Chains A and B, each alone.
Chain A
Amino acid sequence: EDQVTQSPEALRLQEGESSSLNCSYTVSGLRGLFWYRQDPGKGPEFLFTLYSAGEEKEKERLKATLTKKESFLHITAPKPEDSATYLCAVAVAYGQNFVFGPGTRLSVLP
């Protein structure tokens, strides 16, 4: 069964304290891995797509990397406005298209 897990479930950082979020996946065939940000009461906001192991994408303080079994979202010198739930999703080769992980709830304290 296709599965996506994320760790930690919740993370509290001080402003400027860099860290990483993990997304591990077990799928029958990976077509792509996606990162989203979700603020309370809103829909997920697309951040990155990664397609192959070794690929990296960057946007402001965020950097996403991909290996054959997991992806990391690195947050460098976070600010309070980076507080949100970060969701990882995979597009699988067969059957239903997308499988989402449970998310990591990030809080950045000033």
Chain B
Amino acid sequence: DTAVSQTPKYLVTQMGNDKSIKCEQNLGHDTMYWYKQDSKKFLKIMFSYNNKELIINETVPNRFSPKSPDKAHLNLHINSLELGDSAVYFCASSHAEYGQFFGPGTRLTVL
């Protein structure tokens, strides 16, 4: 019954590795998002994806890339992980610009 799900919940990895986080929503929403929440709990949008249109926050390094196999999924791939990438990553979905529904988050720790 989970509306927005993410896997894995925790991810611990070494610097320089490549990793992926998966996100799925069963709400039938047309827009999906990735957010980063840093240690100060500030939520910052990374990407939004709607009908194959990708809007990228210009501050996001190109090591981060979203991939959407279909409307219900938006995965996040991260290449060459750095210490500063450690954070909690949230996936969210919405219909147009109505309120967003968030997943439970993935805590990424880069050692």
What is the interface of chain A, defined by CB distance below 8 A to chain B? 31-32, 34, 36, 41-49, 85, 87, 89, 91, 95-100, 102-103
- For A100, give its contact among B44, B99, B101, B104 (CB under 8 Å): B44
Complex: A47 Cα to B101 Cα, angstroms: 10
What is the interface of chain B, defined by CB distance below 8 A to chain A? 4, 33, 40-45, 48, 55, 57, 90, 92, 97-105
Q: Are B104 and A43 in contact (CB under 8 A)?
A: yes
Complex: A52 Cα to B45 Cα, angstroms: 23
**Residues of B with C-beta under 8 A to A46:** 99-102
Q: Are A100 and B48 in contact (CB under 8 A)?
A: no
**Residues of B with C-beta under 8 A to A32:** 97-98
Q: Are A43 and B90 in contact (CB under 8 A)?
A: yes
How far in angstroms is the closest Cβ of chain A from B28? 16
A-B contact count (CB 8 A): 57
Interface of A is mostly: strand
Q: Are A85 and B105 in contact (CB under 8 A)?
A: no
**Residues of B with C-beta under 8 A to A41:** 105
Which 6 pairs from chain A and chain B are nearest by CB? Answer: A43-B102, A46-B99, A100-B43, A91-B97, A44-B102, A97-B48
How far in angstroms is the closest Cβ of chain B from A41? 8
Complex: A45 Cα to B101 Cα, angstroms: 7
- For A97, give its contact among B43, B55, B90, B104 (CB under 8 Å): B55
Q: Are B45 and A96 in contact (CB under 8 A)?
A: yes
- For B103, give its contact among A43, A87, A103 (CB under 8 Å): A43
- Besides A43-B105, A44-B90, 7 more A-B contacts (Cβ < 8 Å) are A31-B97, A43-B104, A46-B100, A46-B102, A97-B48, A97-B97, A100-B43
Q: Are A42 and B45 in contact (CB under 8 A)?
A: no
**Residues of A with C-beta under 8 A to B4:** 43
**Residues of A with C-beta under 8 A to B41:** 85, 102-103
Q: Are B45 and A34 in contact (CB under 8 A)?
A: no
Complex: A85 Cα to B40 Cα, angstroms: 12
